[in-house]
Amino acid sequence: MKHGEALLLAGKNEQVVLKLRARARAQKIEWEEGQALISRGVGNLRKRVEGDFMKDELCFSSEEFMKVYMTICELCLQKHVHDHHQRLYETCRKSFELYIPLVVLPSLSKQQGGDGEFICREFEKVWENYKIVVHYMSHMFSHLDRCFLGVVLPSLREVALLFFRDLVYDHVGMVVRNGVLGLIKREREGERIERALVKQVVNIFLEIGNGNGMDSYKNHFEKPMFEDTATYYARKAALWIVQESLPQYMLKVEECLKHEKHKVAPYLHSSSEHNLVETVENELLSRYEAQLLEKQHSCCPVLLRDDKKDDLSRMYRLFGKRPQALEPVAGILKEHVTTEAIALIKWAEDAGNDKHEFVPKLIEIHGKYMGYVEHEFQNHQAILVAFREAFFVIVDKRVGGSTCAELLAEFCDSVLRKPKLMDDHIESISQKIGELVRYVTDKDLFA
């Protein structure tokens, strides 16, 4: 019988109920006879589920289903003479209770101690089979559920779920969870795994919650999974921080974050992704932030000096996710720009160097690092403020016997006096000078 047929046959079909009432008045079925028929039907259903049939081809015939269904209805309709509903409830309940130690637990016990994939696969299999049994039995007993249960007693579906949770999940749930975590770790190490299986098992953790699926999922799976993730990446970080340069380390971090977002997160409930990524970032970045930015031969100032734009962009993507994370980078940029500009001032003050070359070189420094601020650091507020603070300090200094304002004015004058300069060239230079003039405190002197 197919899934839809069971729903049709066991649904609220008034014509069937009327026929059953007429039949019940004509001939009453005895409890012993009815119980035997129900037990045979349930037994046949279990045998079919335990076989090798495809799930949509279970050979529990519609005739057999209806025979059991009608027997249960007839026993329920005798309530004015014999109230059988409690006995029927116990019969169904007992069937669920016996099915687990007879079929489910022995099947799972064979896989314990082996490969995590095997226990996950078996767990998914017994859960799906159990759901099939529950589905058909719930419909066979639907008249009992509909007419007698729900207020005083939990529904038969709820009872079945409680049995599985209490007798199966509490018994092997930790083993299955560790199997899932083992598969996730294997994929992190580059192995190919059956990702659909992991997703199916994680969904079972949500289904088993009996109304509190998220609580069960978060407490019994998500929390240990985050702990396992933190341990895994803490070990990786301790190794990489010693072996890798800053650019290589950031590349590895970026790859790890991509892996978690695109491969691990899809296994989980959507609410888990943010905390998963945050766990990885904390272990790989937050714990080593200062150490990374100061790594010998590859630190942040080296990236700035050597025009490593891709690495600087990656630094912004990784460190810029937390508001406070870029503050050390901003401080490094400010110090680096100030140091380079002061070195230029000393060069201009040395005998033999033409002070008129100072302004073009200062324009070059400003343009280079302003480019980093705009493009690689996306005009991040902390970076922009640090850059401007550096140039306020620089432009306020004296170069030899002159102020920067005087040198800027002299340079403008010399440019404007040059013959045959194209208008667009004059405009470009004027714009660059204007950017530097913003940092001049004594603008009247410049004017």
Correct CATH for 212-296 of 1.20.1310.10, 3.30.43.10, 3.30.420.10, 3.40.228.10:
1.20.1310.10
Is the predicted pLDDT of residue 135 greater than 80, yes or no? yes
Is the predicted pLDDT of residue 151 greater than 60, yes or no? no
Higher-pLDDT residue of 19 and 108 is 108
In sequence order, the β-bridge partners of residue 403 are: 398
Q: Which helix (H) or strand (E) holds 218?
A: none
Percent share of the chain, pLDDT over 90 = 35
Tens digits of residue pLDDT in 286-320: 999 888 888 877 788 889 989 999 999 999 999 88
Answer whether 416's CB lies under 8 Å from 371's CB. no
Is the predicted pLDDT of residue 79 greater than 80, yes or no? no
Looking at residue 20, its pLDDT comes to 52
Is the predicted pLDDT of residue 221 greater than 80, yes or no? yes
Looking at residue 284, its pLDDT comes to 95
Lowest mean pLDDT among 18-22, 49-53, 241-245: 18-22
Mean pLDDT, residues 414-440: 75
Winning range, highest mean pLDDT, from 42-51, 91-100, 147-156, 260-269: 260-269
Looking at residue 278, its pLDDT comes to 94
Mean pLDDT, residues 54-70: 69
170 Cα distance to chain centroid? 26
Give the confidence band of 57 by pLDDT, cuts at 50, 70, 90.
Answer: very low
Contacts of 109 (CB under 8 A, 6+ apart): none
Both tokens of 252, joined, read 């590895």
Between CA 96 and CA 164 the distance in angstroms is 9
Tens digits of residue pLDDT in 420-429: 656 666 777 7
Answer whether 133's CB lies under 8 Å from 127's CB. no
Correct CATH for 3-189 of 1.20.1310.10, 3.40.50.12280, 3.40.50.720, 2.60.40.1220:
1.20.1310.10
Looking at residue 113, its pLDDT comes to 62
- Per CATH, is 299-446 categorized as 3.40.30.20? no
**Spans of all domains in the chain:** 3-189, 212-296, 299-446
pTM: 0.78
Mean pLDDT, residues 228-239: 96
Is the predicted pLDDT of residue 1 greater than 50, yes or no? no
Q: Mean pLDDT in the chain?
A: 82
Between CA 367 and CA 198 the distance in angstroms is 52
Mean pLDDT, residues 151-161: 78
Residues 161, 163, 167, CA angle at the centre, nearest 5°? 130
Looking at residue 72, its pLDDT comes to 83
Mean pLDDT, residues 165-192: 90
Residue type, 33: E
Mean pLDDT, residues 350-371: 84
